[in-house]
Amino acid sequence: MLVAGLMTTMSAAKAQDSGYGTQGNTVRDRERPDYDAVGARVGSFRILPLLDLGVRYTDNVFATPGDKISDAVFTVRPQLNVRSDWSRHLLTFSATGNLGFFADLGSEDYEDVLIRLMGQIDITRNSRITLSIGADRLHEARDSPDDAGGLRPTIYYLLTPRVEIAFPLGQISVKIGSNMRIFDYNDTLAAGGVVINEDDRDRLIWEGSLELGYVISPSVRGFVRGTYNIRDYDDLVDDRGRMRDSDGFGVVGGIFLDLTGSLSMQAFIGYRRQVFDDVNFVTIDGITGGLDLTWTPTQLTTVRLGVTREVRETTQLNASGVFRTEFRAIIDHELLRQLIVSVRGGVSESDFRGNGRSDTSWRAGVGATYFINRTLNLDFSYEYRNRESNLDFEDFSRNSASLRLRVQL
């Protein structure tokens, strides 16, 4: 916080004569009238369709420590975005397909679908009710610690309903939220035609939250948030004889700094505790937190730095959860008016509570986006990823490169 404060002071001085800021004006998210999609208007709605066509090469499809298998996958990603243009209230809809077709490994083909619907009711100027729901058909990545190792990637469905009420209470802003994540996994096949039962991973996760915010100044806002969650698995006992149902809570406090100059920051710290019905699972408790900095030293460069410590869920044998700490950095630079180049990297440490597993992962990559015109742009990326685990068979390294053409209206 002290370092961030010093950077903030220096950035505020620069901002007086720079004329650029971090709100909607970073290299990636600033408006580009000559290249941004216009879409089509139908009544009081704006429709923005787009299509991504690409090819990606990887030298380790199955994320294995040895005997690497390489392949190229051709990707097709159509998307439709619809947004209302009303003076009050808001309604948005999006539908995205994410299709992958491998050149040699047809068993790894995937057909993901993501659908989102969100409505916002403006009660007063500062009070609103937001309702949303997501419905996805997804596949589990081969480098996931929970991958079943079947002949084909595991397919699962995810439903995410959510409601949030926001209103002022004097000088305090209040947000009350409730959301669910409902997972439904398909069984998959192992070698020899053996069925891998995935039904014992089906579950419902409910979380309620209460957040209190306070505006300290036009550029500084503090908040405190409390959450309570329940994790209810469809099967009382999984195939390994474990009860995975649990409940827990978290408390976090933080601060937002937005100087509308060249630096913005979000910092938060809290405590998390999760208790399981099965005595064989250790209770997860510990400090969580994070820090995100967005720095725009010049109008052509944006630097993003972040660190996060969080609890993630896992269905690994005897593991009650994962404490994951991640450091990340991204630098975007507008080399030409039509060309943005990027450098990114990160390192993470995953501590699996209960089974002794520990992973260290790091990644580094470069990328470039070229805006041909308002309708077309090209995107290239390369990434190297490495994971080292105290379980030797979980180590892997991988090189990936992709080229995508985006068509938008």
Are 233 and 245 within 8 A, CB to CB? yes
Strand-pairing partners, residue 265, are 257, 293
Q: Is the pLDDT of residue 28 over 50?
A: yes
Structural domain spans, the chain = 2-408
User: Residue 258 pLDDT > 90, yes or no?
Assistant: no
2-408 classified as CATH 2.40.50: no
Average pLDDT, integer, range 201-209: 97
User: Could you identify the residue written with the tokens 């009070």?
Assistant: 127
**Letter string b/e over residues 138-172, b meaning 16 or more CB atoms within 10 A of that residue's CB:** bbbebbebeebebeebbbbeeeeebebebeeeeee
CA-closest candidate to residue 132, choices 120, 122, 117: 117
State the average pLDDT over residues 24-48: 87
Cα distance between residue 21 and residue 43, in whole Å: 34
* 165: Cα separation from own chain's centroid: 23
Instruction: For residue 259, give the DSSP letter.
Output: -
What pTM, to 2 d.p., does this model score?
A: 0.87
Taking the C-alpha atoms of residue 1 and residue 246, their distance in angstroms, rounded to an integer, is 34
Bigger pLDDT: 171 or 81?
81
Q: What is the pLDDT of residue 37?
A: 87
Percent of the chain exceeding pLDDT 70 equals 94
What pLDDT is stored for residue 92 in this prediction?
A: 98
Spatial CA neighbour of 5 closest among 263, 253, 254: 263
Tell me: pLDDT of 4 over 70: no
Q: Give the integer Cα–Cα distance in Å for 327 and 279.
A: 33
Report the C-alpha gap between 285 and 351 in whole angstroms: 12
Res 281 pLDDT > 70:
yes
> What per-residue confidence (pLDDT) applies to 385?
97
DSSP-assigned letter for residue 368: E
What single DSSP character describes residue 10?
A: H
Q: Are 224 and 255 in contact (CB under 8 A)?
A: no
> In the prediction, which pLDDT does 182 show?
98
CA 93 – CA 120 distance, rounded (Å): 12
Q: Residue 89, CB half-sphere, CA atoms under 13 Å: how many?
A: 7
> What mean pLDDT is predicted for residues 197-210?
95
Start-to-end CA span in the chain (Å): 43
Average pLDDT, the chain: 90
Q: How many CB atoms lie within 10 A of CB 274?
A: 21
Report whether 100 contacts 74 (CB < 8 A). yes
Q: What is the mean pLDDT of residues 10-26?
A: 43
- Taking 90 as the threshold, does the pLDDT of residue 33 lie above it? no
Mean pLDDT of 231-239: 90
Residue 279 has pLDDT above 50, yes or no: yes
Q: What is the pLDDT of residue 180?
A: 98
12's CB contacts (< 8 A; 6+ apart) are: 259, 261, 263
Q: Does residue 168 carry a pLDDT above 70?
A: yes
In this prediction, residue 193 carries a pLDDT of 85
Give yes or no for a contact between 268 and 254, defined as CB atoms under 8 angstroms apart: yes
Q: What number of H helices and E strands is found in the chain?
A: 1, 21
Whether 19 shows a pLDDT value over 70: the answer reads no
